[in-house]
Structure 1
Amino acid sequence: MTLFRKLGGVVAAIGVIATSPAAADTLIYAGSVITDADSNPTGPRVIIVADGKVEGVYASTAAEVSAREADGAARIDLSDKTVLPGLIDLHTHLSGDPSGEFWREATTPPEYSTLIAAKNARITALAGFTTIRDLGSRTDQVTQSLRQATAEGIVPGPRVVTAARTISIVGGHGDVSGFTKDVNDVLTSGFTCTGPVQCSEKVRQASQYGADLIKITATGGVLSQQGRGLEAHFTNPEMVAIVETAESLGLNVAAHAHGARGVEDAARAGVQTIEHGTYIDEDAAKAMNANGTYLVPTLMAFEGVKNGLGKGVYTPVVEEKIRVVAAYADTLIPRALEYGVPIAFGTDAGVYPHGENAGEFALLVKGGLSNRQALASATTVAADVLGLSDEIGQIKAGFSADIIAVDGNPLEDVTVLEDVDFVMVRGKVIQ
């Protein structure tokens, strides 16, 4: 068998060849268009896509449409669908799949993690998520490489914004633990720190390695092999040093945080987003609102880990932590709404199976968001978090042609987003 044939099998398996090239001009005939989360369905419209961007949304009789038809522009018939902006997930881990087998840290080579990331990129895009923020990969340069590969159309997938590696305290959540000292030392990421100077250095190192933002584990975590609680890990001077250094480099900080005081400390230090936020209380919320910090709830992650309870999936120390946080997770959205905390969409995909991201919408609505608020959290709000509100999150002239189509109206029933029929990323159809 030739090398080409061998590689061809791998390429087909991860779907690299399943991205349709964009025509110079494409006409999308939509049954109705929701141009943004604040707008209602338009009724039949034609979206003109040129050079990977939306040129405009028109009535079928518009002169612009007739001219493109006469020029032989490609046609996509979605006349029985509702067309809307591609969705954004602010918390994913594309280089990993769900597993309670923590020992896999010691057996998984970076090449395998890269293939897993490529597989999950396509799965995530097909689920309707055309932009993702990846908050911690298993090995160096995996998501930075994926970011480039999806941008160049080599791998079908969403736009990737990546934190690359997570910055954590030594022995805390995000560091390697659970092995003997010799194994822990070999597997450590190189992104742990003690004291403001070291933590500042790790931020600069992450920037040097191509991170788009900084991710820290501000508190203990549920799935790590240590049971010392879910409150603050970093000292206040360490977190302030991280945020100030990141800001000096033009980078925002996302903080994994569960415990209320850890959330409060991270918000006071100036982080942009709180990931999870399980125990948010009034004081933590006040700090978040004072700083303009968003909550990224990751409710699907809580559902995913609860499904593994009592099945031998997790170690006893992890099982205990899951049981403790489960009840609080159910009340997270009502508390956030009560305290006026802004909510942005993120799921922690990788803790549960990739491609099921849209299950988060129903959980947000169950917690008290309207269908429209839930959709906004994954479009206009998430785009604002990324600093891309003039590029993505809407179907609008000059915006990236990140477009999906579904049956039904998500403003009436947000669960229709769990079954996406058509996906275009940067003007290219994902198949």
Structure 2
Amino acid sequence: MQKPILAALLLAATTPATAQIIAIKAAHVITDAAQPARGASTIIVENGRITAINDASAPIPAGATIIDQSTRTLLPGLMDAHTHLTGDPDKPFWNEAIETSEHQVAVGLANARKTARAGFTTVRDLGSANLTAFAVRDAINEGLFAGPRILASGPALSIIGGHGDVSGYRPEVNAALAQGNTCTGPDQCAARVREASQRGADVIKITATGGVLSQQGRGLGQHFTDSEMTAIAQTAHGLGLKVAAHAHGARGIEAAARDGIDSIEHGTFADAAAIKAMVANRTWYVPTLMALVGIDDRLGKGIFTPTVEKKVRETLALRGKALEAATKAGVRIAYGTDSAVYEHGRNGEEAAQMVKYGKMTPRAVLVSATSGAAELLGITAETGTLVPGKAADIIAVDGDPLTDATELAKVKWVMARGKVID
């Protein structure tokens, strides 16, 4: 009696589980934002991956679960290359002195779901306290919570007293809140990169210049030296990691591009020389225009300190100018928003900002949010286009995002890695 039972158990243990097959019907499918859309089609998804994209007339596999989006356009899931999931706007700067890491993880998980529901199936988290973003990333990867694919940097590397370092408190409080993310000199900066890699960073974030929302009021110029940034870039690349540089001032942007940094974040005051360096070094640009929406919405309302308000006004005076010039010059653009400076879930509104202020076409914006961002993030083999074999990162909109960028802020349905985000 026992042998048949044992044999059945062994057979069950070695027999593959029945594949989950999903068939998604669509009026149109944008498989690649750089190419024309297909007509009525059905996307077949099996165990989280696209297995086929068929004409609507093709038979649907037996037993498949059918998802009817037949009045809508399907396209690749969007990507936001610059988020801060564990933070929210409107919190005073001293909140970092009282908020626990555990609470930040909870905030991050909630914001990750909002972001995914908005159509963003991949994000890059560029700056979070301690191990918080790694915890959010890992919990989603393990299937414990719904959310996007996350590439996280952990705390940004900073110079002592610069943007990204703790400031605005008594010296002993600054010291108590410090995260060990500052460095001076090429050797120590290289060591900080190795430590970030050891902690599990997917990307290295540095603050190459001053910042708008930090309490230091010494302008937005270059912070790290050329030798420090070169050491950071070379060390990171040796570990298979890319480097993203928060950079506002023109000379800091130029130096970061020249020194091997992979992407410029914000780039507000980029001039002709800075843009020339970006073109020459094939440096990506992530414009984050939604950050300007966030700070503009809050200017003059007592949310920012006088030190920060002064920098906000300087930044708003040049809204989108750098993006327009960079686009004309042929700089590679990746979509990114700086969420947490504005409310999470509004990520898709960046698209209209890029058209209005950066003079980009809706198609170019969509490329920047799909295949372009995937190239920057190093995940083109996994996502960015709808191709058999890639992850089923798929969203649906009612209109045509190739001609109307506002459609990216009106996503109606989302599938991330084969799972529908309700």
Deviation at 1:341, TM superposition (A): 1.6
Give the share of equivalent positions with the same residue, in percent.
Answer: 53
Q: How does 1:42-61 map to 2 (within 5 A)?
A: 42-61=38-57
For 1:332, the aligned partner's letter is A
For 2:26, the aligned partner's letter is A
Which of these residues, 25, 36, 40, is aligned with residue 36 of structure 2? 40
What is the match of residue 260 of structure 1? 250
What is the match of residue 118 of structure 1? 109
The reply on whether 1:31 has 2:8 as its aligned counterpart is: no
Q: What's the TM-score, normalizing by structure 2?
A: 0.94
Q: Unpaired runs of 5+ in structure 2? A: 1-17
Which has the larger displacement, 139-148 or 123-132? 139-148
What is the match of residue 345 of structure 2? 355
Which has the larger displacement, 88-97 or 407-416? 407-416
Q: Secondary structure at the match of 2:301?
A: coil
For 1:268, the aligned partner's letter is R
Q: Secondary structure at the match of 1:89?
A: strand
Q: Secondary structure at the match of 2:69?
A: strand
List per-residue Cα deviations over 1:93-146 (Å, max 9, x = no partner).
000001251010101000100000000000000000000000011x22211122
What is the match of residue 15 of structure 2? none
For 1:39, the aligned partner's letter is Q
2: CA distance, partners of 1:378 / 1:276: 16
Does the 8 Å contact 1:134/1:163 carry over to 2?
Answer: yes
Q: Secondary structure at the match of 2:219?
A: coil
Q: Secondary structure at the match of 2:392?
A: coil
Deviation at 1:23, TM superposition (A): 6.7
Does the 8 Å contact 2:183/2:192 carry over to 1?
Answer: yes
1: CA distance, partners of 2:323 / 2:109: 32
Q: What's the TM-score, normalizing by structure 1?
A: 0.92
For 2:271, the aligned partner's letter is D
Q: CA RMSD in A?
A: 1.2
4+ runs deviating over 3 angstroms: none
2: CA distance, partners of 1:30 / 1:406: 10
Q: How does 1:252-331 map to 2 (within 5 A)?
A: 252-331=242-321
Q: Secondary structure at the match of 1:42?
A: coil
List per-residue Cα deviations over 1:42-91 (Å, max 9, x = no partner).
221110000110001101332xx34x1xx211110101111110000000
Which of these residues, 177, 180, 198, is aligned with residue 208 of structure 1? 198
Does the 8 Å contact 1:100/1:315 carry over to 2?
Answer: no
What is the match of residue 231 of structure 1? 221
What is the match of residue 382 of structure 2? 391
For 1:59, the aligned partner's letter is D
Q: How does 1:27-426 map to 2 (within 5 A)?
A: 27-62=23-58, 65-66=59-60, 68=61, 71-137=62-128, 139-366=129-356, 367-426=358-417
**Number of matched pairs:** 404
> Is the alpha carbon distance of 1:256 and 1:124 closer, same or farther for their aligned partners in structure 2, counting shifts above 3 Å?
same
Does the 8 Å contact 2:268/2:320 carry over to 1?
Answer: no
Q: Secondary structure at the match of 2:318?
A: helix
Does the 8 Å contact 1:133/1:162 carry over to 2?
Answer: yes
Q: Secondary structure at the match of 1:219?
A: coil
Deviation at 1:329, TM superposition (A): 2.1
List per-residue Cα deviations over 1:15-43 (Å, max 9, x = no partner).
xxxxxxx9710000112111110222222
Q: Unpaired runs of 5+ in structure 1? A: 1-21
Does the 8 Å contact 1:282/1:339 carry over to 2?
Answer: no
